[in-house]
DNA sequence: GCATGATCATGC
DNA sequence: GCATGATCATGC
């Protein structure tokens, strides 16, 4: 999918800049439509900082500068792009430190922390983190995170102390003795090699040029926090007064009866409508989650399910579960079966209503749901029948939708050749249990 | 390469 | 229009 560069954002407004930047997530610079590329900009080599320059100039339409003011000065926002890499175990880590402004030895000794250059330029940063891959052109790096980062709280205190330490050393005429090991989060890293040495106050010894930076380990902690915030439901802080359930439900309340376009507009999101996971993504966005999983639901073992109702109120589809293994079921009892475990869980149903024109879809309601005891007993019947058929070598003939009010069995495979062995050694297409659409309809109407 | 959630296709 | 079989899309 392409995204389009239109500069349709307000340079004075942090939220607007952030929304515009967010469109980059999961995209590459090369994949942006309307990106002008003149010969001189064409990426013959991956010169350092090329990604950042290109991003600023062509995506945001701001000139490269080395001002002491933030890139978006009216918004007080500094733009920083930085490389991250994927480790072998799948975790993400910073490729290198994030370099902030150059330290001017002559003037910094007169600064105070509160009004320092460092803070006024970098207090609020918009981080664009792209996945670095060796041998790839920078135009093909995939943007993984776009996040606002503010120097605040405990971090700010540690950074202040680091800053004071560095400045104290410079005041003492020891700029040439600065070392990254001196400090914790904020480092004074070497910057430039050929630029040579700079004069420093209170000493005749020349010192290598240095810049403030967020040290690599600190960048890693930033990444960790961004990852946590992406899969965590926003503002669950009122938990003391309200139940978890009601907080979640309230998140959805403003969107009742809104069609999905309007919901997206209000959320400021641009999801791919064609994706099969569109509605699940939309539901997560409503909760303020951009990651694939919702941390709170994972912990509480809640299973979120999307249901789309046809115009007549009938779910468009039955609800599937993971496929089962014939041989495994034959040796299990209902109580230790996967199906029982799945049905015992708490569900979170997010229901959308299709209009007569099926393109018109609005959010109807969301609710937590447990399968009622009597229906669990029905499911047990289906499961027992399934087991009996499998054990007796009739795995082809499992309970059909018409045979039970609650659930049935039917194929769930990649295609008809995606098979698995039955008890009598035959290969049969993978199947799973399904909840009947008619049963789901009842449950939705009841809640 | 496969599991999983979700959806499509077709015949009655 | 539904039941049933078949398949897609995504992420790990």
Query: Over the stretch A265-296, which tens digit does the pLDDT of each residue have?
Result: 888 777 877 777 889 889 998 988 887 788 88
Domain presence at residue A33: yes
Q: Is the pTM of this model over 0.85?
A: no
Protein CA A317 to sugar C1' B11 (Å): 18
Query: Over the stretch A175-231, which tens digit does the pLDDT of each residue have?
Result: 999 999 899 999 999 887 655 688 899 999 989 889 999 999 999 999 988 888 877
Report yes or no: A97 and A214 within 8 Å, Cβ to Cβ: yes
Nucleotide C9, nearest residue via CA and C1': A276
Nearest to A420 by CA among A408, A433, A409, A432: A432
Q: According to the 3-state scheme, what is the secondary structure of A131-199?
A: ECCCCCCHHHCEEEEEEEEECCHHHHHHHHHHHHHHHHHHHCCCHHHCCHHHCCCEEEEECCCCCCEEC
Report yes or no: A389 and A381 within 8 Å, Cβ to Cβ: no
State the DSSP code for A207: E
Nucleotide C3, nearest residue via CA and C1': A401
Domain count, chain A: 1
Q: What are phi and psi of A89, to 5 degrees?
A: -85, 5
Protein CA A296 to sugar C1' B1 (Å): 30
Tell me which nucleotides of strand C come within 7 A of a protein CB: 2-12
Domain presence at residue A297: no
Nucleotide B3, nearest residue via CA and C1': A322
Protein CA A98 to sugar C1' B11 (Å): 62
Domain presence at residue A72: yes
Nucleotide B8, nearest residue via CA and C1': A317
- C-alpha to C-alpha distance for A200 and A194, rounded to whole angstroms: 18
Residue A402, token pair as written in the block: 């018409």
Domain presence at residue A240: no
* Start-to-end C-alpha separation, chain A: 38
Domain presence at residue A346: no
Whole-Å CA distances, A175 to A99, A188, A204, A281: 18, 10, 11, 51
Contact between the CB of A370 and strand C at under 7 Å: no
The CATH number covering residue A33 comes to 3.40.600.10
- C-alpha to C-alpha distance for A131 and A142, rounded to whole angstroms: 5
The two most distant CA atoms of chain A are separated, in Å, by 93
Determine how many CB atoms are found less than 10 A away from the CB of residue A155: 19
Residue A324, token pair as written in the block: 């089962």
Protein CA A1 to sugar C1' C10 (Å): 15
Report yes or no: A392 and A370 within 8 Å, Cβ to Cβ: no
Domain presence at residue A263: no
- C-alpha to C-alpha distance for A419 and A411, rounded to whole angstroms: 10
Residue A435, token pair as written in the block: 């909840």
Question: What angle do the packed helices A260-267 and A278-286 form, to 10 degrees?
Answer: 50
3-state secondary structure of A77: strand
Domain presence at residue A175: no
Q: Which domain holds residue A44?
A: 14-152+221-227
- C-alpha to C-alpha distance for A344 and A334, rounded to whole angstroms: 12
- C-alpha to C-alpha distance for A146 and A131, rounded to whole angstroms: 12
Domain presence at residue A65: yes
Nucleotide B6, nearest residue via CA and C1': A276
3-state secondary structure of A398: coil
Contact between the CB of A11 and strand C at under 7 Å: no
Task: Please report, in tens digits, the pLDDT of each residue of chain A (447 residues total).
Answer: 455 666 678 888 998 898 888 888 878 888 776 666 654 555 555 567 788 888 888 889 887 666 678 889 889 999 999 998 877 666 788 888 999 999 999 999 999 999 999 999 999 999 999 988 877 888 888 888 888 999 999 999 999 999 999 999 999 999 999 999 899 999 999 887 655 688 899 999 989 889 999 999 999 999 988 888 877 776 655 555 577 888 889 889 999 999 898 998 888 777 877 777 889 889 998 988 887 788 888 888 899 999 999 988 999 999 999 999 999 998 899 999 999 999 998 999 999 999 888 788 999 999 999 999 999 999 999 999 999 999 999 999 999 999 999 999 999 999 988 999 999 888 999 999 999 999 999 999 988
Which residues of A335-418 form beta strands (DSSP E)? 346-354, 361-369, 407-411
Give me the count of residues in chain A: 447
């Amino acid at each position: 999918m392409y995204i389009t560069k239109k500069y349709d954002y307000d340079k004075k407004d942090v939220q607007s800049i952030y929304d515009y930047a967010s469109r980059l997530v999961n995209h590459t610079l090369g994949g942006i439509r309307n990106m002008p590329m003149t010969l001189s900009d064409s990426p013959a080599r991956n010169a350092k900082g090329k990604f950042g320059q290109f991003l600023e100039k062509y995506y945001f339409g701001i000139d490269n500068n080395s001002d002491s003011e933030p890139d978006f000065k009216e918004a007080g926002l500094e733009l920083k792009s930085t490389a991250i890499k994927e480790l072998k175990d799948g975790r993400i880590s910073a490729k290198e430190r994030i370099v902030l402004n150059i330290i001017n030895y002559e003037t910094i000794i007169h600064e105070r922390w509160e009004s320092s250059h460092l803070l006024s330029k970098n207090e609020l940063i918009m981080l664009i983190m792209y996945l670095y891959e060796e041998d790839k052109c920078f135009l093909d790096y995939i943007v993984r995170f776009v996040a606002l980062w503010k120097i605040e709280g405990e971090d700010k205190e540690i950074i202040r102390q680091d800053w004071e330490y560095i400045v104290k050393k410079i005041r003492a005429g020891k700029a040439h003795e600065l070392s990254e090991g001196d400090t914790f989060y904020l480092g004074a890293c070497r910057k430039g090699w050929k630029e040579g040495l700079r004069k420093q106050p209170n000493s005749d010894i020349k010192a290598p040029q240095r810049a403030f930076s967020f040290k690599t380990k600190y960048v890693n902690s930033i990444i960790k926090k961004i990852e946590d915030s992406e899969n965590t439901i926003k503002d669950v802080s009122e938990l003391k007064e309200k139940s978890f359930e009601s907080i979640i439900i309230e998140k959805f309340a403003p969107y009742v009866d809104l069609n999905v376009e309007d919901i997206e507009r209000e959320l400021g999101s641009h999801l791919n409508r064609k994706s099969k996971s569109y509605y699940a993504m939309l539901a997560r966005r409503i909760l303020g989650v951009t990651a694939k999983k919702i941390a709170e639901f994972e912990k509480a073992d809640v299973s979120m399910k999307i249901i789309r109702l046809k115009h007549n109120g009938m779910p468009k589809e039955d609800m599937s579960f993971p496929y089962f293994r014939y041989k495994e079921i034959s040796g299990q009892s209902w109580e230790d079966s996967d199906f029982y475990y799945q049905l015992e869980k708490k569900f979170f149903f997010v229901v959308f209503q299709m209009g007569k024109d099926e393109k018109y879809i609005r959010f109807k309601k969301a609710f937590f749901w447990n399968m009622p005891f009597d229906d669990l007993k029905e499911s047990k019947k289906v499961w027992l029948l399934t087991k009996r058929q499998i054990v007796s070598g009739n795995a082809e003939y499992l309970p059909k939708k018409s045979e039970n009010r609650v659930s049935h069995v039917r194929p769930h495979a990649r295609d008809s050749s995606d098979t698995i062995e039955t008890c009598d050694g035959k290969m049969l297409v993978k199947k799973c249990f399904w909840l009947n659409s008619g049963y789901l309809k009842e449950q939705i109407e009841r809640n």
